[in-house]
Amino acid sequence: MCKVRELAKAKVRFVAKRESQKGGVTLKLELHKVKITNVVFGDAFSVKNGTLTIHKQALIDHLMDDSRLASVEVELARPGESVRITPVKDAIEPRCKIEGSNEVFPGWIGDVDTVGEGKTLVLEGAAVLTTGRLVAPQEGIVDMKGPGAELTPFSVTQNVVLVLNPAEGVELHNRESSCRIAGLKAASFIAQQVNAAGFKADAVETFESLPYAQALAAHPGLPKVAYIYMLQTQGLLHDTYVYGVDVKKIIPTMINATEVMDGAICSGNCVSACDKNSTYVHLNNPVIKSLYEHHGKDLNFVGVIITNENVTLADKKRSSSYAVKLARTLGVDAVVISEEGFGNPDADLVLNCWKAEKAGIKTVLLTDEYAGRDGASQSLADTTPYGDACVTAGNANAAITLPPMDKIIGDISFVDEQAGGFFGSLKQDGSIFCEIQIITGSTCELGFTKNGAYTI
Amino acid sequence: MNRQYRIITNNNRYREPSWARSSVEFVNFAAMKVLLRGRDLIHQGWVLQNHPLYGNFRPYQQPFRTLLLAEPAGKGDVDAYSLELIANAIEVYENCGWPHILPEQCSEALREDCATIDMALMKETLRQCGIVE
């Protein structure tokens, strides 16, 4: 009864504080970051001196309440180990809510209610990676050592790897769903157990989202900039979800940056490893991070517009026009536009670009390239002369030889058929000759990659 | 009046009985031939409903390709955007630098998975055009 009264009082205080803020509510999110420098198995979940301890059986039991899974194995992979993980589906950073309504990954773990304020625990430096075969032409590879490790951001994370085996007879959509949700469950469960056991944050970062009326009026004299955040939404294995909703079903909309940090956007995209945005990358979107860093200094970061990359031409037309309309409604001077994937999404990038430019809004495009093995072919499938400010994350067709690794987590036998591999990729000695497209995050179009770029 | 559509494909899944009432034109073997047939129809006034390129697959990674086109409206004037898209797509296929993968070159598992993905990625376009529910 005492606890109920305390909760009721807290709720009243929270509502009163919101109502006292004239002109709308500022959403404030604190990320309480615990730095993880090692991961081990043990009898209980905990973090001590940077070491994350995982109770393996408790994690497996938590995941196995999904009858669509036949079995789950849990392995650990640490930076510098001779380990290859494949096929990697998703990467998720362990996070959970400490304070504030709802839970992370709304619509999957959390309720469908809005997130993005309060306090969130982040186990920074840890990642949950999911593996397991869904279909043959499916990503991706993470090497924890060697030349491949230089191209993936997940060679420096302390990885808890789930090897997921779908149950016999489960249809492909359900197999994909069960594997995707298992990753989200594992990441949130690990963070929740650490929260329950107690932790000390190494750093607290605070992010605010002002009501739009205040945001637009702030920092007079600085250019107003919005971020058009393109999300892959082509169909099975090529999808993204916001608040549990399939993004191919939405029209473009505004979302607060802090909602993204609480897992409002989750990835269901696992075909092209190099340039798909894993859930981890959405949580740590470097474009959002960079815009916050520049906010109030040389630009006024006013908001985020999410949009889709559908197959249907009518949807491409509708979404590009609507996303630009939102930018015009905000009255921004410029937009940063990030693509996800390649091929027909290049058309969405181009549509967003020229429609914004024709509306008097300057654009900067973030993409990657498929310029052939020698880099001499046209990089994108579509072009526009308006796209004259473009940042590239690299050429996904660049070739590499990955040396053999001592340990394989997952299944290496399908490497020849993964995007970026080809017949004969996997050599008898265990080495792999392939394109960097096969490496998870190697040309991430949000810039969450180990590659750099310089201005020409 | 309901608009008529035609599916152009090299994916044999569309031979299944459930597709008997749809207008499906099969092109044998190579995905590139689907694009070329699509281009021919576009020149006759047919209008593309889906983008001719996949997202996430290069031409040498996916042996199948399916296009949905709407019948010519009125005089059958060429839709400029359809023509631009198909021409760009053909150029991507021609310059991709690797031999295009053919269905019969794939393992059975790869062929079946690619056929499934091809259909899955067409689903929303077919639904919006009233061909599937």
> Is A276 within 8 Å of chain B by CB?
yes
Task: Reply yes or no on whether the pLDDT at B29 is more than 50.
Answer: yes
- Measured between alpha carbons, how far is A211 from A256 in angstroms, rounded to an integer? 10
Among A444, A330, A329, which Cα is nearest to A391's?
Answer: A444
Name every residue whose Cβ is closer than 8 Å to that of residue A197 and which is 6 or more positions away in sequence.
A44, A45, A46, A47
Residue B104, CB half-sphere, CA atoms under 13 Å: how many?
3
pLDDT in tens, A229-281: 999 999 999 999 999 999 999 999 999 999 999 999 999 988 889 999 999 99
**Are A311 and B51 within 8 A, CB to CB?**
yes
A320 contacts in chain B (CB < 8 Å): none
Q: Do B81 and A313 touch (CB under 8 A)?
A: yes
pLDDT of residue A225: 98
Mean pLDDT, all residues of chain A: 92
Task: Reply yes or no on whether the pLDDT at A295 is more than 70.
Answer: yes
Distance from CA of A175 to the nearest CA of B (A): 13
Q: Do A137 and B61 touch (CB under 8 A)?
A: yes
pLDDT in tens, A155-184: 999 999 999 999 999 998 999 999 999 999
pLDDT of residue B74: 76
**Chain B 14-43, CB below 8 Å of chain A: which residues?**
none
> Is A309 within 8 Å of chain B by CB?
yes
> Is B119 within 8 Å of chain A by CB?
no
Task: Judge if pTM exceeds 0.80.
Answer: yes
pLDDT in tens, A27-78: 899 999 999 999 999 999 999 999 999 999 999 999 999 999 999 999 999 9
pLDDT of residue A18: 47
> Is B131 within 8 Å of chain A by CB?
no
Percent of chain B exceeding pLDDT 90 equals 69
Task: Reply yes or no on whether the pLDDT at A21 is more than 50.
Answer: no
Is this complex scored with an ipTM above 0.90?
A: yes
φ/ψ of residue A25, rounded to 5: -110, 130
Weakest-pLDDT range from A77-86, A257-266, B90-99: B90-99
Residues linked to residue A239 through DSSP beta bridges, in sequence order: A268
The CA-atom distances, in angstroms, between B66 and each of A208, A221, A350, B120, B126 are: 46, 51, 23, 11, 11
Distance from CA of B132 to the nearest CA of A (A): 14
pLDDT of residue A424: 65
B116 contacts in chain A (CB < 8 Å): 135, 172, 236
Taking CA–CA distances from A270, the nearest residue in chain B reads: B56
Quote the tokens at residue A180: 């995707």
Weakest-pLDDT range from A54-58, A421-425, B72-76: A421-425
> Is B116 within 8 Å of chain A by CB?
yes
**Chain A 166-195, CB below 8 Å of chain B: which residues?**
172
- Measured between alpha carbons, how far is A142 from B129 in angstroms, rounded to an integer? 40
- Measured between alpha carbons, how far is A46 from A111 in angstroms, rounded to an integer? 26
Q: Mean pLDDT: which of A68-82, A133-147, A419-433 is highest?
A: A68-82
> Is A136 within 8 Å of chain B by CB?
yes
Active site residues of A: 270
B132 exposed, middle or buried (CB, 10 Å; 0-12, 13-18, 19+)?
middle
B53 contacts in chain A (CB < 8 Å): 343-344, 346, 381
B57 contacts in chain A (CB < 8 Å): 137, 271-272, 343, 419
pLDDT of residue A422: 64
Task: Reply yes or no on whether the pLDDT at A192 is more than 50.
Answer: yes
Of residues A248, A314, A342, nearest to B56 (C-beta): A342
Rounded to a whole number of angstroms, the CA Rg of chain B reads: 14
Best residue in B56, B113, B126 for a mutation probing chain A (most A CBs within 10 Å): B56
Q: Do B121 and A314 touch (CB under 8 A)?
A: no
Of residues B88, B92, B128, nearest to A312 (C-beta): B128
pLDDT of residue A13: 43
pLDDT of residue A331: 96
- Measured between alpha carbons, how far is A347 from A355 in angstroms, rounded to an integer? 12
Q: What is the arithmetic mean of pLDDT over A102-125? A: 97
Distance from CA of A376 to the nearest CA of B (A): 10
Task: Reply yes or no on whether the pLDDT at B110 is more than 70.
Answer: yes
The CA-atom distances, in angstroms, between A454 and each of A64, A294, A437, A451 are: 47, 19, 21, 10
Task: Reply yes or no on whether the pLDDT at B36 is more than 80.
Answer: yes
What is the band of A423 on the pLDDT scale with cuts at 50, 70, 90?
Answer: low
Cα angle A302, A304, A309; round to 5: 150
Residue, of B20 and B98, whose pLDDT is higher: B20
Q: Do A136 and B107 touch (CB under 8 A)?
A: yes
**Chain B 50-109, CB below 8 Å of chain A: which residues?**
50-58, 60-62, 81, 85, 88-89, 91-92, 95-98, 107, 109
Task: Reply yes or no on whether the pLDDT at A1 is more than 90.
Answer: no
Taking CA–CA distances from A375, the nearest residue in chain B reads: B97
Of residues B49, B88, B122, nearest to A381 (C-beta): B88
Percent of chain A exceeding pLDDT 90 equals 82
Task: Reply yes or no on whether the pLDDT at A10 is more than 70.
Answer: no
Task: Reply yes or no on whether the pLDDT at A404 is more than 80.
Answer: yes
Distance from CA of A29 to the nearest CA of B (A): 34
- Measured between alpha carbons, how far is A295 from A289 in angstroms, rounded to an integer? 10
